[in-house]
Amino acid sequence: MTNFWTTDLSQTVRNSEKLVQRRTRAKDVVDWLEEYADEGPTSSNQGVAKVPFQRWFHFKEAFSPKFVADVLASVPYRVDRCVDPFGGSGTTAMTCRMLGLKSATIEVNPFLADLIEAKLTPVSAAGFCRKYERLISTLVIKGVDKRRIPGMPPTLCEPGVDGRFVFSSDVYRTVRAIVRRSGSWDADEARLLRVLLGSVLVANSNVTINGKGRRYRRSSSPKSADDLIASLDAAVDAAVADLSRFAGLPKGGHKVMRGDSRVMLARVAEADIAVFSPPYPNSFDYTDVYNLELWMLGYLGSSTDNTSLRKDTFRSHVQTKWRETPRRANSAALAKVIAALTRKRGELWNRNIPEMVGFYFDDLYITFEHLKRILCPGHHAVVAIGDSQYAGVHIDVARILEECVAPLGFNLAKSGAIRSMRASSQHGGKFDLSEHCLVFERR
Ligand SMILES: C[S@@+](CC[C@H](N)C(=O)[O-])C[C@H]1O[C@@H](n2cnc3c(N)ncnc32)[C@H](O)[C@@H]1O
């Protein structure tokens, strides 16, 4: 097995042509991968702006289709079925579909699960366009569209709090009206429209979003319904072009499973390989980062829904006070890190970080417990994952994970740093953190 993450794009394309199974056409995967701009690290989504399907929603935490294609070409056995327990934007599943492989994907966030399902589900481009045009040309705002969603953050819609709000009333009620109208559509078409609407929400809001949360834009005049519809038109055009271009692609044998992978993996009987990128131990809360889409598109109906989604996500953040659970992951390196963090508790920006780090590796351990049953000996779990740092204490994820999963029968067969990430000042300064590709082989 080579350092497959350094393969150049033309080689990836040639390898993928060979991998394609009879169910699909080599030309499709070649055309698809050739749209990838081979510039940034393959573990990031830089370079997918023109890649059909991947361009539907800007999912910053995604790895590239090239990464998945390179993994699949690097293993010394034929892959027919692939599992990804942390689906995100569905890069693994979409690459498998292009290659004619079966996939099982688990995603806890219902909006993201819909994004994955929408990319994998054929929809008639012409029919979708007709319905969309009719919906927009006959859109009437009703009283119900102006109503606040029970439990939604008070800042979500104008007037907001202290003059700060995420959406103008005009945008808020237009989004809600589109969601209401699409409710009577066929499920596949309604899902596609919700996803495309989700893809233009942040651009039509007063905020920018990153791992540290929401930030109000400095000098922006609030967006209007016309702005929203113009950007939705563009998103629909792009999706329709992709659906038409790849209309001949078979639906494929994919399964999108909605929920917590620590539980849902029990329902996956077998796979030839696992390819995934879990949340990193960096206090990044996915429920927060994709909160606008969840509220506006009708995935959350109360604050309890929001809390329970947060509780079902990996324990990689401190937004929830986690209940103590018995320690599963055992590693000398982990014990050292937790002790160092505990000593520095007073310097940490959140007192619960030492416990969070322990829970995080317990969650990874649970994932590998399932993978031990799902994967045959000699087969692999390929993980893209990043380090973290708090108050100068470095969380060496590769080393800790290697020690934690060894007793489960997984050897670290290969590892390499794919890129350096800059630690945020909140996480302790200028230290360059690595993002690794870790290849675990089941003994
Ligand atoms: C780094 S992203 C995965 C990105 C993905 N590889 C891609 O290319 O789009 C991690 C994902 O794990 C999901 N996640 C977090 N906790 C989860 C859980 N308990 N079960 C399933 N998915 C979870 C998050 O919602 C997020 O979408």
pLDDT reported for residue 425:
45
Task: State the distance from the centre of ligand 1 to the C-alpha of 272, rounded, in angstroms.
Answer: 20
Residue of 313, 315, 365 to mutate, ligand 1, most atoms within 8 A of C-beta: 313
Per-residue model confidence (pLDDT) at position 251: 80
Look at residue 407 and tell me if it is in a domain: yes
**Residue 87's CATH number:** 3.40.50.150
Both 270 and 358 in one domain: the answer is: yes
* Separation of CA 24 and ligand 1 centre (Å): 27
| In a shared domain, residues 433 and 410 | yes
- Residues whose CB is less than 8 angstroms from the CB of residue 120 and which lie 6 or more positions away in sequence, other chains included: 90, 93, 94, 97, 251, 252, 254, 256
User: 245, 266, 297 — which closes off a domain?
Assistant: 245
* Global pTM exceeds 0.75: yes
Q: Are residues 236 and 277 in the same domain?
A: no
The pLDDT of residue 357: 96
Does one domain contain both 32 and 177? no
Tell me how far CA of residue 296 lies from CA of 87, 105, 341, in angstroms: 22, 25, 38
Residue 191: domain span: 125-245
Question: Can you list the alpha helix ranges (DSSP code H) found in 35-160?
Answer: 65-74, 91-99, 110-120, 125-137, 143-146
Give yes or no: residues 425 and 350 share one domain. yes
Instruction: Going from the first residue of the chain to its last (443 residues), give the mean pLDDT of each consecutive group of 10, the final group possibly shorter.
Output: 86 93 83 91 88 96 95 95 98 96 98 98 97 98 96 95 95 98 97 98 93 80 94 98 94 93 98 97 90 97 95 92 86 97 96 95 98 98 95 96 98 90 53 87 97
State whether 207 and 322 are in the same domain.
Answer: no
- Of 342, 331, 311, 306, give the one whose Cα is nearest residue 400: 331
Pair (240, 255) in one structural domain: no
Residues 255 and 222 in one domain: no
Check whether residue 34 and residue 141 sit in a common domain: no
- One domain for residues 57 and 90: yes
The total domain count for the chain is 2
Alpha helices (H) along 315-415: 332-343, 353-374, 397-405
Å from CA of 430 to ligand 1 middle: 27
Could you identify the atom of ligand 1 that is nearest to the CA of residue 314? 16
Ligand 1 pocket by Cβ (under 6 Å): 59, 61-63, 86, 88-89, 91, 106-109, 112, 260-262, 277-279, 286, 312-314
Q: Which residues pair with 390 in a beta bridge?
A: 393
Centre of ligand 1 from the C-alpha of residue 59, in Å: 11
